[in-house]
Amino acid sequence: MELYQKTAAELSAMLNNKEVSAVELTKAAFARTAQVEDKVGAYITLTEEQALADAAAIDAKRAAGEALSPLAGIPVSVKDNICTKGVKTTCASKMLENFLPPYNATVTDKLHAAGLIMTGKTNLDEFAMGSSCENSALQKTRNPHNLDHVTGGSSGGAAASVAAGEVSIAVGSDTGGSIRQPASFCGVVGMKPTYGTVSRYGLIAFASSLDQIGPFGRCVQDAAMLADVLMGHDKMDSTSVPREYENLTAAINPDIRGMKIGLPKEYFGEGISQEVSKAVLAAAETYKQLGAEVVEISLPLSKYALPIYYILSSAEASSNLARFDGVKYGYRARDFDGLVDLYVKSRSEGFGPEVQRRIMLGTYVLSSGYYDAYYKKARAAQRAIRADYARAFEQIDVILTPVAPTTAYKIGEKTSDPLQMYMGDICTVSVNIAGLPALVQPCGYDSAKLPIGMQLIGPRFGEQKLINAGVAFEQASGLSNIVAL
């Protein structure tokens, strides 16, 4: 087995036993990247020189007998909407194509403090707005399982980098499914943690009340190990939750006998492909055999999740993206007539069509005469969705659902119809609306050999339950550590 095929947990053990060095691992990661990157296109920026220097520093610390964290010396890719000091952070937008952040995001600092080796910055839909990675203004990313198909999005580069073995773990962000749906399409594991458990400081804001950074891996344990690095209170983010963060990896217990798993009937009906439904229901059967109790539940407001999500996220986006005006940083138009024209031209030339659509929708739902009917109503409906989940979690431990209505579709298939693209988010957005944690992992393949993912949703701060249920399924199904290409 080659190094690139190993999980982060396996690599961690090899580093500890001095079977391999961080420099060797980093060289292997870049060698694998050189082999597949022109097909996959996961990265916008590679940081090989810095990575090798960081790896040498970790090796020196290990040789000196310093206590290191479990992931010290392991290469990781970072989504390009997370600020990295002195390393371009583009959001895959012409607007920020040359932006060099003057500071690190808190998670960037945390990765560094834990000794992880950043390999580069991965592609995304522009400003994380999209579900296929095709909205990137800078780069095309292809699904390692079939290069004619999309990776999903918006964290498509992150998912592809892990699926193709360029790295074993990656950091992404999830506003309405942007970690979970690409994880599903690329046959890897992704987790969207509870809102407020990972600092958003330095994550370029899309929708601040929904955005959450989270881990990717090829097995549930790797995602848990990276989550342990990322999670924690941060005084630089006023929505960061001050609480005790228990180590998820140390507490992994795959004995799920007696666990109550809910199957919401609204997630298995119209609009969900039969192959996807069948695979997720088969996973429910596996859980029964493992001693869990599976019950049907109802989340009656699910059908309204999509309008609620697109109103709230676009409203916040229109406000957050107002800062890009061609003045302080980012793209400035060449020709303009006065200050207002400078704003208008810089924004119209700097933002791609999807970003402009979201800004338009957000401005509309916040505008005078429409605010009550759209934004205010969506905020009230958000409370109702939270109440829906709270009622469900009174009788069950976790909820099992599909991740997306279909497996990865062909590149270009949905780009002309944004609405059709939005419909693909139906299974993931309510988790962000309610601020809950959710774990995605592979549960099978469709007839075209493309991966099918399943989603486990937990109560607030219920990550441990998700991890335990995820590991249990992985052990029973053998669907773990799938490297494509």
Active site residues: 79, 154, 178
Cis bond upstream, residue 154 (ω within 30): yes
Our CB check for other proteins shows the closer of 375 and 473 to be: 375
Closest separation between CB of residue 172 and other proteins, Å?
A: 24
Binders of other proteins in range 86-125 (CB under 8 A)? 99-100, 102-103
Task: Label the pairing between strands 189-192 and 169-174.
Answer: unpaired
Sign for the CA dihedral angle at 278, 280, 281, 285 comes to positive
Give residues 5-44 in contact with other proteins (rule: CB under 8 A).
Answer: none
- 347 counts as binding other proteins under rule CB under 8 A: yes
- Cβ nearer to other proteins, comparing 364 with 445: 364
Contact between residue 187 and residue 484 where contact means Cβ atoms under 8 Å apart: yes
* Residue from the set 53, 63, 295, 367 that interacts with other proteins by CB under 8 A: 367
* Binding range to other proteins, per CB under 8 A, among 166-174, 351-359, 394-402, 471-479: 351-359
The type of residue at 56 is A
Binding of other proteins by 419 (CB under 8 A) = yes
- What is the nearest approach in angstroms of other proteins to the Cβ of residue 378? 6
Among 268, 286, 379, 413, binds other proteins (CB under 8 A): 379
Residue 434 touches other proteins, criterion: CB under 8 A: no
Give the residue, chosen from 326, 437, 459, 462, that forms a contact with other proteins under the rule CB under 8 A.
326
- H runs (alpha helix) in 351-376: 353-366
Query: Residues 317, 322, 327, 331: is their CA dihedral positive or negative?
Result: positive
* Cα 250–Cα 251–Cα 253 angle in degrees, nearest 5: 125
Choose, by CB under 8 A, the member of 34, 63, 113, 380 that binds other proteins: 380
> d(Cα 267, Cα 280) in Å, to the nearest integer?
10
Minimum CB separation from other proteins for residue 320, in Å?
A: 12
DSSP state of 321: G
By residue count, the chain amounts to 485
Does position 381 interact with other proteins (CB under 8 A)? The reply is yes
The stretch near other proteins (CB under 8 A) out of 283-291, 300-308, 425-433, 465-473 is: 300-308
Q: Residue 483 and residue 430: Cα distance in Å, rounded?
A: 30
Q: From CA 163, how far away is CA 368, in angstroms rounded?
A: 46
DSSP designation for 412: T
CA distance 133 to 190: 16
Footprint on residues 230-269 left by other proteins (CB under 8 A): 233, 235, 238-242
Q: Which helix (H) or strand (E) holds 1?
A: none
For 342: left if phi > 0, alpha if psi spans -120 to 50, otherwise beta; the answer is alpha
Contact flag: residue 289 with other proteins (CB under 8 A): no
**Cβ-based nearer residue to other proteins, 173 or 314:** 314
Rounded to a whole number of angstroms, the minimum distance from the CB of residue 417 to other proteins is 8
Cβ-based nearer residue to other proteins, 395 or 420: 420
Angle at 461 (CA atoms; ends 375, 391), nearest 5 degrees: 65
Site residues for other proteins per CB under 8 A: 99-100, 102-103, 196, 233, 235, 238-242, 301, 303-304, 306-308, 310-311, 318, 322, 325-332, 336, 338-340, 342-345, 347-349, 351, 353, 356-357, 359-365, 367, 370, 373-374, 376-381, 383-384, 418-419, 422
